[in-house]
Structure formats: structure tokens, C-alpha cells
């Protein structure tokens, strides 16, 4: 009886462990005896502690195999072997038998790890619930891809952008992709027709094998040699072959300059084009290639495809609708409203400054709170405010100047083709929240000129305040100082890109020199030829 009441010793427990037969486990789900014997030096203290707690009556042995069982809703995913087309659970046993037989034939040593096959087929890395927790609350997303000229922007390049957007990890029922063709070209229309067919293979391929990047051209350029895995290698070869054939067909049509009659007969959408149709004279064209609401709009794996739409707004020679950014009459009406605001709008009394300032302050604070609540940093929010101002300064000014020069016959602007695939350096700058200015776009010339003009004016005003007229200048000029200083503060990334950065995303030297010259000219000419009132 004394031996029964005495606590377990380490030697007794050790002898019991090492007396266990080889290849046996403590229960259906227990570790084999080899595990305890091999790692005994590491686990013996915990094992001995557990046995003595049990001896003292501090452990409920009935809870050793206590398990929480939760039912996880199953989702048909590509990663689950049981859902692969043509795959059966019995195939796994046949595969194991073949492996064993093969190893015996070639007399190669190896290790086979036996698993509970029922559990193996139930196991699933289940990030689905978290990722799609708010699936029903996700907003509908419309993505617009714009193109201006099939000769400058090859249709094969444009559809790569379209296909990469269609392959987004987003609910396809809530994703719509629109190709806005400013040229109204049948070549681009044909390329999108080909893309709508290729998308049925490309989208499931991307999601099945977690393809990155999702532009076919960029992906197959990086992955010149396909994977060696049997299933993925076969699908890789098939998908690459489909893409190459599609790209060749599109390029052949572009080289020929028009769509052949055989192709025209394949789709009724080509009836929109006739001999009288040109890029500057055509009716509005709208065609839905893939309607996400249609139950038949599915890919090769049976999943819903995103909506895909081709659109080209109406253009007529006798109407002012020849600008990529929108109808000219809308642009002119907005510009005239801004120019004539001091004449046409009534003066606001001082007391009415309060509600306007309240609205501005309240909306800014609410916008900041909203951005922070969804995970934005202060820098991200501030950069977003910068972009709002950049778009207003650059786009309206550029459109106004371009319109005047075009009507005077002095300028015909061209569109700068930007890269559709970001390299590692661009991605690095993007992750660091550094703005990209690399391409020599006319928009950047306007933006840099306005930024430099405000900087020069702020320096000139500060000189008048400090050296010439003193503190008396602040009274009538305070708001001008605040406004000019705010614009300078917002344009800090522009100054950094012009003068302090030397990476590939900095402002091109030609734009920097042009903007400095224009800003100095705009500052010096009025200073020389107009007399400014002095504050006494």
C-alpha cells in the first residue's frame, strides 16, 4: 500500500516509457512511442510533473482527450483536393500504392508518413470566413480603363490592363470593368472581344495558382519557363498558348488596319462601324461583352465572371466633343463660370462666413475621422487631400491652355503612354508613400509651374513684409499669405521631386527647367510693367 501512495519517480516513469513497444501509439490520435523515447530529455520534466499532479488528485484525466468541435461551413475552393474536377478520394490511396511500388522497384529508401485520411481531406486553411466576412456589404466597384488611339496605345497592351483588373480578388458579381475608347476604333473593339473569351481561362488560372502579376503579358514575361509541377505545368502551357494565339490574332488585325469580313460576321457589334465611320465622326457605341447578371456568364470552372463593357461616346465634326477628358461645352461652361464668378455672383456678407467655415471644417474633420477609422495613416489622408488639389490645378489649367492653343492652331497635344506594369523600384516607392512623377507629361508641367509660381510669390511677399513695408502689410494681405503658404505646403512632394530626389520617379529635368522659367516669367513681367499699391 505504501508504494501505491508514494509519488512517481522519474526513473519509474522513464522505465515505463522506454518499455513501450515500437510502432505503437497511446490511443488512436496519440503520438507513437518513438516520439517520447527520442525526445525524452526535452519532455521528461513536463511528463513527470503531469503524473505527480494526477497522483495528487489535481488533474481530471477524463479531460485529456477533451476536444472542442466546431462546424466550419465548407466552401468549394480550388485548393481542396476533393473539389478538383475528376478527382476522387480513392485516388489518394492508389497514389500511395504506386509510390510504394515504384520505390521497391528502384530500390530507393524513403519515409512515408501515415495520416488520418479522413481528417486530411477535412483539413483546410480557412481564411475564407475572415476574408469574406463582410462579403454582402462590399460596395459595387466600377473600373474605367481609358484609351485614346489604337496606334499609340496598342490594343494588345490595353486588354492586358483590362484582364489584370478583371482578375482582382474581389466579388465578381460586384466588379464591372469599362473600356472607354476615345477613338471609337473597331480594332480596340475586336481586341476586347478576344479578351472576353480569354478571360474565361485566365481568371480561374490566376485564382487557382495565385498568379502575380495578373497582367498576362507581364506574367508570362517574368515566368518564361513554366512550373515543373504536373497539373500546374499543363495548365500553364495551355494558358500561355491561348494568350499567345490571342495576342497574335490581335496584332495581325492591327497591322492590317481593319477587321476582316470573316471576323465581322462573328459578332453583331461590328455593325456599329461602316465606311463612313471615323475616330472623329461616329455615333455613341455601347456593348456589354460579359453581363455579370447573366447566369451563363461563367468561366471555365463554372464561376461568375465580372461585367465587361465597351463604350465610346458620340463624336461629330460639327459638335465640340473631341476631347478625351470630356465634352468641350462642359469644360467651357465650367471655365467661364470660374472666370466670371466675381461679376455674376453676389457679394457674401461677413456674417455668412461662419456657416461656410463651419461646413469646410466639419467635412474635413469627418473625412479625417473616416480615413483613420478604415486604417489610413495621417500621411495617406494628407496625400489624398494633395491629390484632390493636384487634379483640380493641373487638369483644369491644362485643359484651358490646351483649348486656347488648339483653337489658335499652335498646339496639338499627344498622349503620353505610361507603363502598365510597375517594376520593383516603383513598388518600393509606392509602399513608402512617395509620389511618382517619372513620365514627362504636360500635366506635370502645369502642376510644377503652379507650384513654383506660388513658391516664388510667397518668397516675394515675405521679402516685402520683412525688408520693405513691414508688419503693416499683414492686414490686407493676410489671407493671401495663408492661401499661398497652404499651396506651398501641399506642393512639398513636387518640390522634393524637382530639386532633391534623384530616383527614377523624380520630376524630369526638362519639366523642372520649363516650370521654373515660366514661373519666373509670370512673376517678373507683372512686377516690371505694373505698379503694385504700397501699404503706408
Tens digits of pLDDT across the chain (536 residues): 566 677 888 888 888 888 888 877 766 667 788 888 888 888 888 888 888 887 777 766 665 655 545 444 444 454 555 555 566 666 666 777 777 777 777 777 766 666 554 444 444 444 445 555 566 677 788 888 888 888 888 999 999 999 999 998 888 888 999 998 888 899 999 999 999 999 999 999 998 888 888 899 988 887 766 666 667 788 888 999 999 999 999 999 999 888 888 888 888 888 888 887 877 787 888 889 999 888 888 998 888 999 999 988 888 777 655 544 444 444 444 444 544 554 555 555 566 667 878 888 888 899 889 888 888 888 888 888 888 777 776 677 777 777 787 777 766 555 555 555 556 777 788 777 788 887 777 778 888 888 888 888 888 888 877 777 666 666 667 778 888 888 888 888 888 888 888 888 888 888 889 888 888 888 887 665 555 555 44
In a shared domain, residues 167 and 305: yes
Among the candidates 312, 332, 359, a domain finishes at 312
| Numbered residues of the known binding site | 153, 182
Among the listed residues 321, 340, 363, 310, the one whose alpha carbon sits nearest the alpha carbon of residue 179: 310
In a shared domain, residues 51 and 35: yes
Is residue 348 one of the residues assigned to a domain?
A: no
pLDDT on residue 118: 47
| Numbered residues of the known binding site for UDP-alpha-D-glucose | 153, 182
**pLDDT tens by residue, 210-258:** 888 889 998 888 776 666 666 778 888 899 999 999 999 999 999 988 8
Burial of 413 (0-12, 13-18, 19+ CB in 10 A): middle
In a shared domain, residues 150 and 298: yes
Among the candidates 130, 149, 169, a domain finishes at 130
453676389: which residue's cell?
346
In a shared domain, residues 162 and 231: yes
Among the listed residues 161, 169, 166, the one whose alpha carbon sits nearest the alpha carbon of residue 138: 169
In a shared domain, residues 285 and 167: yes
Is residue 329 one of the residues assigned to a domain?
A: no
CA dihedral (74, 75, 79, 82) positive or negative: positive
Is residue 328 one of the residues assigned to a domain?
A: no
In a shared domain, residues 104 and 36: no
In a shared domain, residues 140 and 281: yes
Inter-CA distances, 124 with 91, 207, 217, 303, Å? 19, 17, 32, 20
Among the listed residues 264, 262, 288, 286, the one whose alpha carbon sits nearest the alpha carbon of residue 275: 264
What is the domain count for the chain?
Answer: 4
The CB density around residue 184, as the number of other CB atoms within 10 Å, is 24
Is residue 397 one of the residues assigned to a domain?
A: no
Burial of 259 (0-12, 13-18, 19+ CB in 10 A): buried
Q: Which domain holds residue 41?
A: 2-63
In a shared domain, residues 126 and 139: no
pLDDT on residue 324: 44
- In the DSSP assignment, the letter for residue 349 is P
Is residue 405 one of the residues assigned to a domain?
A: no
Is residue 335 one of the residues assigned to a domain?
A: no
* Rounded (10°) CA dihedral 407, 408, 410, 411: -10
- In the sheet that holds 175-181, the strands lie side by side as 141-147, 175-181, 307-312, 285-290
SS3 306: coil
In a shared domain, residues 108 and 171: no
CB 285 within 8 A of CB 272: yes
Bridge-based pairing of strands 285-290 and 307-312 is antiparallel
CB 218 within 8 A of CB 421: yes
In a shared domain, residues 166 and 59: no
Q: What b/e sequence results for 501-512 when a residue is b if at least 16 CB atoms lie within 10 Å of its CB, and e otherwise?
A: beeebbbbeebb
**pLDDT tens by residue, 59-83:** 666 656 555 454 444 444 545 555 5
Is residue 151 one of the residues assigned to a domain?
A: yes
SS3 386: helix
Is residue 265 one of the residues assigned to a domain?
A: yes
pLDDT on residue 134: 60
Can you tell me the distance from the alpha carbon of 56 to that of 50, in angstroms, rounded to the nearest whole number? Answer: 10
In a shared domain, residues 183 and 286: yes
In a shared domain, residues 124 and 231: no
Amino acid at each position: 500500500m505504501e508504494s501505491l501512495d508514494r509519488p512517481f519517480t522519474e526513473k519509474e516513469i522513464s522505465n515505463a516509457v522506454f518499455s513501450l513497444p515500437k510502432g505503437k501509439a497511446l490511443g488512436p490520435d496519440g503520438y507513437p512511442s518513438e516520439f517520447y523515447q527520442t525526445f525524452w530529455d526535452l519532455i521528461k520534466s513536463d511528463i513527470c510533473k503531469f503524473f505527480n499532479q494526477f497522483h495528487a488528485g489535481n488533474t481530471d484525466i477524463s479531460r485529456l482527450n477533451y476536444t472542442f468541435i466546431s462546424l466550419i461551413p465548407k466552401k468549394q475552393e480550388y485548393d481542396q483536393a476533393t473539389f478538383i474536377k475528376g478527382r476522387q478520394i480513392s485516388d489518394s490511396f492508389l497514389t500511395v500504392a504506386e509510390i510504394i511500388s515504384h520505390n521497391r522497384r528502384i530500390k530507393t529508401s524513403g519515409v512515408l508518413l501515415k495520416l488520418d485520411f479522413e481528417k486530411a481531406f477535412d483539413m483546410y486553411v480557412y481564411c475564407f470566413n475572415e476574408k469574406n466576412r463582410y462579403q454582402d456589404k462590399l460596395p459595387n466597384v466600377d473600373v474605367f480603363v481609358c484609351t485614346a488611339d489604337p496606334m499609340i496605345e496598342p490594343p494588345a497592351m490595353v486588354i492586358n490592363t483590362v484582364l489584370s483588373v478583371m482578375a482582382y480578388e474581389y466579388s465578381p458579381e460586384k466588379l464591372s470593368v469599362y473600356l472607354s475608347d476615345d477613338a471609337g476604333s473597331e480594332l480596340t473593339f475586336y481586341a476586347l472581344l478576344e479578351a472576353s473569351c480569354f478571360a474565361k481561362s485566365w481568371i480561374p488560372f490566376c485564382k487557382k495558382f495565385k498568379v502575380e502579376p495578373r497582367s498576362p503579358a507581364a506574367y508570362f514575361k517574368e515566368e518564361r519557363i513554366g512550373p515543373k509541377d504536373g497539373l500546374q505545368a499543363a495548365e500553364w502551357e495551355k494558358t500561355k498558348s491561348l494568350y499567345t494565339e490571342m495576342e497574335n490574332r490581335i496584332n495581325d488585325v492591327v497591322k492590317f488596319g481593319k477587321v476582316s469580313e470573316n471576323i465581322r460576321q462573328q459578332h453583331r457589334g461590328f455593325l456599329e462601324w461602316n465606311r463612313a465611320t471615323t475616330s472623329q465622326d461616329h455615333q455613341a457605341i455601347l456593348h456589354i461583352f460579359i453581363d455579370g447578371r447573366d447566369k451563363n456568364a461563367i468561366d471555365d470552372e463554372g464561376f461568375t465572371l465580372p461585367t465587361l463593357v465597351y463604350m465610346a461616346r458620340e463624336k461629330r465634326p460639327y459638335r465640340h466633343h473631341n476631347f478625351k477628358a470630356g465634352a468641350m461645352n462642359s469644360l467651357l461652361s465650367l471655365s467661364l463660370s470660374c472666370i466670371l464668378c466675381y461679376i455674376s455672383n453676389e457679394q457674401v456678407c461677413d456674417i455668412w462666413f461662419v456657416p461656410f467655415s463651419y461646413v469646410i471644417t466639419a467635412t474635413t474633420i469627418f473625412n479625417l475621422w473616416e480615413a483613420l477609422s478604415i486604417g489610413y495613416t495621417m500621411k495617406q489622408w494628407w496625400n489624398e487631400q494633395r491629390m484632390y488639389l493636384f487634379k483640380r490645378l493641373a487638369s483644369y489649367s491644362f485643359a484651358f491652355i490646351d483649348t486656347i492653343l488648339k483653337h489658335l492652331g499652335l498646339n496639338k497635344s499627344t498622349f503620353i503612354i505610361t507603363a502598365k506594369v510597375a517594376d520593383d523600384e516603383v513598388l518600393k516607392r509606392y509602399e513608402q508613400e512617395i509620389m511618382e512623377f517619372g513620365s514627362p507629361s504636360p500635366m506635370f508641367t502645369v502642376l510644377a509651374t503652379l507650384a513654383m509660381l506660388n513658391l516664388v510669390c510667397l518668397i516675394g511677399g515675405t521679402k516685402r513684409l520683412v525688408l520693405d513695408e513691414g508688419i503693416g502689410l499683414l492686414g490686407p494681405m493676410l489671407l493671401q499669405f495663408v492661401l499661398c503658404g497652404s499651396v506651398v505646403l501641399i506642393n512639398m512632394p513636387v518640390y522634393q521631386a524637382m530639386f532633391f530626389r534623384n530616383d527614377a520617379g523624380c520630376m524630369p529635368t526638362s519639366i523642372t527647367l520649363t516650370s521654373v522659367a515660366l514661373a519666373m516669367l509670370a512673376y517678373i513681367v507683372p512686377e516690371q510693367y505694373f505698379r503694385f499699391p504700397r501699404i503706408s
